Amino acid sequence: MPATDLPLLIDAALGGGQIAMAHWRSDPATRTKDDGSPVSVADTAVDDALRDTLTRARPAYGWMSEETPDDRARLSRAHCFILDPIDGTRAYLDGSTTWALSLAVAEAGRITAAVIHMPAKGLTYTAALGQGAWLNGVRIRASAIARAEGAALITSKATYAARHWRGTPPDFEKHFRPSMAYRLAVVAAGRFDAMMTLRQAWEWDIAAGALIAAEAGATVTDRHGAPLRFNSAPRQSAGVVAANPALHDEILKQLA
């Protein structure tokens, strides 16, 4: 990983955040994509700005973004940017503060640098491989709670369906946030004990958060316990489970 990848991502995220904030709570023009999700002029403006900044600085890197048509030339590149210009677009359009810019660099399937920037909250989570995880320049760590019972889990309602568990679902303390990146970030910061999604997860939603959570001491895998790999052809993983190692093992044991 070039030593300057993380500072590059931070600068790009801060600039993109300014663009997002300029459109926030101003009723930006919005359309519905083929999958039924909304996309606004803010999403595309941030995406355009990030792509210009990052690919100008690293022309040899591949590019994967939720708001850019897939260019499979990325598969042959040693490095690839993976990002979501606004993760949590519905929250963004509702005027909520729980949306994020999620930026990462993948090298040989691993994330090596990551930023989750939440300009409406004044929060910037960062990590580089082997260098720890940070929030606004302060080191963060995942929680140490080892038991699923009573652990604060941040996920969607669908996760608690009985079919996903070997027996009765554990009595988690239940929480939800719309941004997948934010869910991983707050686990990294120890505010919540675990996050999970059992659905297919898009890489741009989880790439940055996966490294930040791992560098904070969490174990981060797919729903089956397999390592996450990035810059894949399908651009998806088989869900995500993130928690400190003991709690992660406990959750996997109880999942169907």
Which residues define the annotated binding site for Mg(2+)?
66, 84, 86-87, 205
Binding residues: 66, 84, 86-87, 205
The answer to whether 218 and 248 have CB atoms below 8 angstroms apart is yes
What is the C-alpha to C-alpha distance for residues 181 and 86, in angstroms, rounded to an integer?
10
Kindly state the tokens that stand for 46: 């941030």
Question: Which residues lie closer than 8 Å to 44 by C-beta, 6 or more apart?
Answer: 67, 85
The answer to whether 223 and 102 have CB atoms below 8 angstroms apart is no
Identify any residues that bridge with 45 across adjacent strands, giving them in sequence order. Answer: none
Closest CA to 151 of 195, 103, 213: 195
What is the C-alpha to C-alpha distance for residues 155 and 158, in angstroms, rounded to an integer?
8
Q: What share of the chain is helix, strand, coil (3-state, %, to 5)?
A: 35, 30, 40
Measured from the Cβ of residue 164, the count of other Cβ atoms closer than 10 Å reads 16
What is the C-alpha to C-alpha distance for residues 224 and 140, in angstroms, rounded to an integer?
26
